[in-house]
Amino acid sequence: MKTNFPIDKFKEIRTPFYYYDVELLQKTLDTINSESQKYENYHVHYAVKANANEKILKQINKNGLGCDCVSGGEVQACLDAGFTSNKIVFAGVGKADWEINLGLDAEIFCFNVESIPELEVINELAKAKNKVAKIALRVNPNVDAHTHHYITTGLNENKFGINMEQLDDVINEAANMENVEFIGLHFHIGSQIEEMEPFMNLSNRINELQEKFEAKGINIKVINVGGGLGVDYVTPDENQIPDFKSYFATFNKYLKLRPDQELHFELGRAVVCQAGSLISKALYVKEGASKKFVILDAGMSDLIRPALYEAHHVIQNLSSDQELETYDVVGPICESSDCFGKDEKLNKTKRGDYFALRSAGAYGQIMACQYNCRTLPVGIYSDELI
């Protein structure tokens, strides 16, 4: 099935570019709000790392979500887009002093802290400003997310978080520091998680921890379960909006939230992925010895996920409805890994045909680079085309 891309309106725009369906993003945000608001004390943050375009951040802010940042640059982008500082959480395994200071000056909601040395630096920098920084400790729960090894984060072998065995010591240490206030626990087990089971396992792990801490009289106000909800990369038109209903219901069913306790989420991919496509034009159709190649004007510098994670994005020829032929779809960059798909069945293609690489709204434009001195792709929005 071909989706509705207004290619007649693309003519004046230099390819490749990212095209965002603003209406679909809005429907997705509406679903997130209606599904999460079924439950008391659920707070959804948007993981800015997925896409930090100003227009997208503004739309997300307008819909009341908070944001989850992993760098000073992201904190600044969120402040610039109008997010109030009490909705900003700041995670990351290596926060530099200037980044911590930016968070302290803005008085963000919470720092998600990943180690004792980091805790000590936050305490010291907060002291110098005569402030108290709210902190949550990122726990490595050793829960398998069953996802690609590059995007799994919650196992003991990963660099993220504090091991559960060390947690007691870190909480005690935090309690003795004057310029940090311990408010909660933070988790994130990985990304592109397509089953609910890992979230159920995470909930059970959190329940065990809660009981342990309660027995010790430690009060946890906030639990942050991170992000990770996956999207349908294979049939994006059939599942344009991820299954937020099951996602929030899983936490509601399994995670025993105490009265007045807040449950925070940090969803990135699930919010923006299906709303974005990379639009490109066929430069050449080349007959190889045993294969036919479509050479696009978009390459791995524009969308690195296939080269980096062996990810596959649905590829559609938007200009042709002729019979299907088999092609390898590649980019113009001087690397063999600059390949978007092998043996793709595509409508018969000629030079100048428009192509869409689907499900590219998350970790697409934001991960683009200028390798080969290429220009960074811009973002074009459905409501701005004339």
Name the residues that contact ligand LLP, by CB under 6 A.
47, 49-50, 68, 91, 151, 153, 188, 191-192, 226-229, 266-270, 305, 309, 363
Nearer to ligand LLP, 87 or 269 (CB): 269
What is the secondary structure of 100-133 as a DSSP string?
HHHHHHHT-SEEEE--HHHHHHHHHHHHHTT--E
Rg (CA), the chain: 22
Distance CA 166, CA 145 (A): 22
Nearer to ligand LLP, 119 or 267 (CB): 267
| Tokens (6 digits) for 313 | 């994005």
Position 165, amino acid: E
* Complex with ligand LLP: residue 270 or 295, whichever CB lies closer: 270
Least Cβ distance, residue 336 to ligand LLP (angstroms): 20
Joined together, the tokens standing for residue 62 give 């307008």
Residue closer to ligand LLP by CB (options 16, 349) is: 16
DSSP single-letter state for residue 258 = P
In the complex with ligand LLP, the residue whose CB is nearer, 285 or 308, is 308
Picking from 56, 46, 79, the residue whose alpha carbon sits closest to that of residue 379 is: 56
Sequence-ordered alpha helix ranges (H) in the chain: 22-36, 54-62, 72-80, 97-106, 116-128, 167-175, 197-215, 244-254, 269-272, 305-309
Closest separation between CB of residue 313 and ligand LLP, Å? 11
- Torsion over CA: 343, 345, 349, 354 (sign): negative
CB of 68 to ligand LLP, least distance (A): 5
Query: Count of alpha carbons within 13 Å of 276, Cβ hemisphere only?
Result: 29
> Which residue, 47 or 282, has its beta carbon nearer to ligand LLP?
47
- How far is the CA of 73 from the CAs of 21, 48, 52, 295, in angstroms? 25, 10, 10, 35
DSSP for 34-53, written as a single string = HHHTTSTTEEEEEEGGG---
Judged by beta carbon, residue 149 or residue 291, the one nearer ligand LLP is 149
